[in-house]
Structure formats: structure tokens, C-alpha cells
Amino acid sequence: MQITRLDVPQCSIGEGPVWDVQSANLYWIDILGKCVFRLSADGQTTRWDVPQIIGSMAIRRDGNAIVALANGVHSLDFATGACAPLATSPELNEQVQLADGKVDRRGRFIVGSSDRGMKEARGKLFVLDPGALELRQIDGDIFLANGPCWSPDDRTFYHADSIRKLIYAYDYDIGHGVVTNRRPFASTEELGGIPDGATVDTDGCVWSAICEGGKLVRFRPDGSLDRIIEMPVKLPGSVMFGGPNLDRLYVPSLSPAFMGRTADPLDGSLYVIDGLGVQGIAEPRFGA
């Protein structure tokens, strides 16, 4: 196994990596930097600024993007940089904002919201159906929404409440985009940090970035701990498999400077891990 720091701009809060199989590009976001980055196959890095704090992003069927901003989901045109409102919810206000999100294998965007103060369970879990103008709520009672991902058979949805240090599992109805039977899947209480971004590999195991804990972990489908990878930084933000064989694990990270703490020179870097011996699952694009 080899961990490599990539030569790309460092972030204040590096999150939300997306490997787009069709273009062989890696995308990620800087939440407080209010921007989207792209690392192309030729090694070039491109940046797009957005008008608000960004919680997550996904690629659309046409190759452009959607971005989850504080007050709703917006479209992002890569050619012009234009960002336009697409869908919102009355549940979004000055106390909550959109957070981590991903696309299911029917082209829906599933995105959580979080309490801005992280003190109340005001967050919700929403679905943006292709063509809809309003977000559809499917769950609530969330402090800080993170790490949405699905089992390979689409029957189980995983989603973390980072403040509770819990990853939940749900029964997922792929036909209708509905979750039921929320239950604890894994706790990170003993891992020294909170569950942040996550993904699932072809074995059905859940990979989670343990922010504040300086590590990545792999949970088996029964929730038991399978593997721990120590990272060069304390605040890994998320994980995403990419590369031609979907066997490279990309890991953006955060800088504690945004919390008023002293930052290490490596904080906010983007890493890639090779030689794990596992493969990820291709991320779908948003749209019907």
C-alpha cells in the first residue's frame, strides 16, 4: 500500500470527491473556499467558484454538474462557470444548510442538511428526483449529515450523523427513492473521531474517513471493523475510489485553521492510496 500526496491546491475543507468514469476526471470541493476542483487525466487542475458555501456536488448526464449550496441545489455549467438555482426546500433556512450528497443508481441526488451550529438535530435527508424543482424529504433528526452511499445491490443505504459518531443503515427502495428502518450500523466512538465522507467497495464493505481521528476505516457489511489505515493528516474528509480500474482511493482533507487551530503544512491536501487490493463501484451521473 502506498499513500501519495497529490500536487493540487490545498483546501480549507476538502470534501466530496467524485470520480467520473466517463470522463476519467476527479472532482472535489472546498466547502469554505466555495469552489469545485477538477483533476483531469492529463494532470491539469481546474477551479470553479460558486456563490455560497458548498456541501457536495455530482456530475450530470450532460457532463456538467449540480452543486448543493447552502440554500438549495444549483446547476453548474463548466464551460461558462454559471451557477443557477435548480431546486430547494422550505426546510432550508438560516439555521440549516445542505451538506454531503451522492447520486443513486437511478439518477437521483440524495443529500443531507445540517444544523449550522451543530447543536440541534435540525438536519434532514432529501431526494432530488430528476426534473423536480423541490427537494423531497425522506428522513430527519440529523445534526451533521455525511457519507451517503449504497450497498452493491442497492438494498441498503448508509448515512452518518457525524455529531452522534454513528453511521446508520437503512432499507432502500431503489424504485421510489425511499428509506425505511433506520438503525445503527457502526460507531466511531472508539476510533478517535467522527464519521465523515464514505463509499462502498465491490465486496459491500463501507469505507469511512474518520475526521479528527487521522484514519480511514473499512467496515464489513455486518458493521464489524475490518481494516484501519493511518493517514498523514488528522482530518481526512472523505473517500472515493477512482482510476481506470476503480482501485485507487482518493482522500481530500481539512485544515484545522478554519476552527482557529494551528494547521500542519500537510493539512488540506489531497491524497491517493494505491495497492489496497479492492475496487470501488462507479458513481452514477444525475438525471433521468
Facing residues of 66 across strands? 58, 75
- Dihedral of the alpha carbons of 22, 204, 208, 180, in degrees to the nearest 10: 100
21: Cβ contacts below 8 Å, ≥ 6 apart: 246, 282, 283
Instruction: Determine contact, residues 151/200, Cβ cutoff 8 Å.
Output: yes
Cα 285 from Cα 288, distance rounded (Å): 9
Q: Cell numbers at residue 275, please?
A: 495497492
CA 137, 55, 238 angle in degrees (round to 5)?
A: 110
State yes or no: is 42 an active-site residue: no
d(CA 112, CA 183): 17
Handedness of CA 5, 64, 209, 117 (dihedral sign): positive
Which position among 196, 201, 247, 267 bears the catalytic label?
A: 196
CA dihedral 92, 11, 209, 74 (to 10 degrees): 30
Please give the distance of CA 163 from its chain centroid, rounded to a whole number.
16
- Provide the annotated active-site residues: 196
